[in-house]
Amino acid sequence: MRRETVETRDGDVWTFDWLDDERSGASPLVVLFHGLEGNSDSHYARALFAALVARSWRGVVPHFRGCAGGPNRLPRAYHSGDHAEIAAMLDAIRSRVADPTPIYACGVSLGASALLNWLGRGGADAASIVTRAAAVSAPLDLVAAGRAIDSGSNRIYARHFLQTLKPKALAMARRFPGLLDTDRVARARSMWDFDDVVTSRLHGFDGTGDYWTRASSKPWLASIAVPTLVLNARNDPFVPAESLPRPHEVAPDVVLEQPEGGGHAGFAHGPPPGRLDWLPRRLLAFFDGDRAA
C-alpha cells in the first residue's frame, strides 16, 4: 500500500491509500469510498483489495477528511450527501492515472450515499470520469435509516460510531473556538443528536431533519446515466427494506439488487463467521459488464 497526502483546493488535505502492482500496467483502477468512520483497513476494503491483487488491478481508497488517522486542517468533516467532495476526489484521481485507464467507483454505506449523490447530479457528464459504479449498503433514505440506527438494539451501533465521532468533534471545537456547542456534543447520545449539533453545523444544513432530507441519495437514482449497481440486503439493520427503491424509481442504467440476506456491508457466506469474498466477486463481475447477480 502506498500512502499519498493530497492538498485540496480549499487548503485542506486528503489521504489516498493506493494499491499499486508492478504487473498492472494500464489495468483498471477501482476507487473505494469508505463508510462512516471507515478507512482502507475496513474489512470490505481489505477484501476488495485482495480481489484486486488476484487479478492485477489497481485500487485507491481516498479517505474522507479526518479518517486517515489524524485531524484535517479545516473546520469540515464529511457527510452522506458530500457530492462535491466525491467530485473533487475523483478529479484528483483521474489526473493521476493515464488515459484511457478505466476507473470504476465503489462506495460503501455513507460513501455509497455520497457517490450516488454525485452520480445523480452529474448525469451523463459523470461518464467522462468513471466507466461503471457500485453502491453497497447505501442508506438511500437517510430519514428512514437514521430512525433505524437510533432505535431499539441498533442503538449499540450508534454508540459505536459516537465513540470516535464525538472526540473528533470536540478536538475540532478546541482548534476552532466557538464553532460547535461542546456541551451539546458531549451530551449527544444518538446520530440525530450528533448530526444536529455537528454534521449540519459544519456543512451548511439547518439541523438534522434538513440534512437527512437534502442529503438522501434516493431522489437522484432516476438521474444516473452511468451503469451503476445499487446493492442492498433486505435484512440490513440500518436500511429498512420498505425504504428501498423499486425499478420504476431508478434510471435504466441503475441495476437494483436486493437479496434477502447480507446485513450491512458484509454479505458474508458459508459457515460462521462467514467469508467476505462474495461482495468483491460481485463488484468485479459488475465492473466486467455482468448486470446479473
| Residues belonging to the active site | 109, 236, 264
Q: Which three cell numbers stand for residue 110?
A: 455513507
Query: Could you please report the per-residue DSSP string of the chain?
Result: -EEEEEE-TTS-EEEEEEE--TTTTT--EEEEE--TT--TTSHHHHHHHHHHHHTT-EEEEEEPTT-SSS--SSS----TT-HHHHHHHHHHHHTTS-TT--EEEEEETHHHHHHHHHHHHHGGGGGGT-SEEEEES--SSHHHHHHHHTSGGGHHHHHHHHHHHHHHHHHHHHHSTTSS-HHHHHH--SHHHHIIIIIHHHHT-SHHHHHHHHT-SGGGGGG--S-EEEE--TT-TTS-GGGS--GGGS-TTEEEE--S--TTTT--BSSTT-BS-HHHHHHHHHHTT----
